[in-house]
Amino acid sequence: MQSPEVPKTKRIVLIAHDNKKEDLVEWVQLHKEILSKHHLYATGTTGKIVHDKTDLPVHRFLSGPLGGDQQIGAKIVDGEIDVVIFFWDPLTAQPHDPDVKALLRIAVLYNIPIANNRRSADYLISSDLLASSYKKTTIDYNTGLPIY
């Protein structure tokens, strides 16, 4: 089994906890030109705010606490997400913390790059790999061997 190639146009998820939504919107506005070349996805409330403030098209899943994090996790498993930008709030308990942990676990398991704050998001968005095809390596967890 070969690992799929990640296309030039990436499928980027945008997520932010309530206390981080403004930060994410500001970050998206700064990188609007780059982001406009990709397919954007988001949890419900974050997606609405990003679209309203930037006019960028954003496919919206449910709100995180209502299952949006799990929907995104399923898309990762299906190979339909390439990058996750998740501005999470480490100082506020979230009612859906188990869903957040599951989403982060799935992203790591499927070798999806994740940015959890502005600085890491800046590194990801400025990477040459964002605008090019990329041969993704994953692990076959049945054998423990990498799939190229």
**Residue 51 among known ligand-binding residues:** no
- Is 38 one of the annotated binding-site residues? no
Dump the DSSP string for 1-27. -PPPEEPSS-EEEEEE-GGGHHHHHHH
Residue 47 marked in a binding site: no
Fill in the DSSP letter of residue 95.
T
Catalytic (active site) residue 69: yes
The answer to whether 17 is a known ligand-binding residue is yes
Q: Which of 52, 69, 89, 128 is catalytic?
A: 69
Tally helices (H) and strands (E) across the chain. 6, 9
Question: Does the annotation flag 9 for ligand binding?
Answer: no
Residue 64, marked binder: yes
Displacement of CA 21 from its chain's centroid (Å): 14
CA distance 20 to 66: 18
Give binding residues for substrate as ranges. Answer: 17, 21, 43-46, 63-64, 96
Annotated catalytic sites, by residue?
Answer: 69
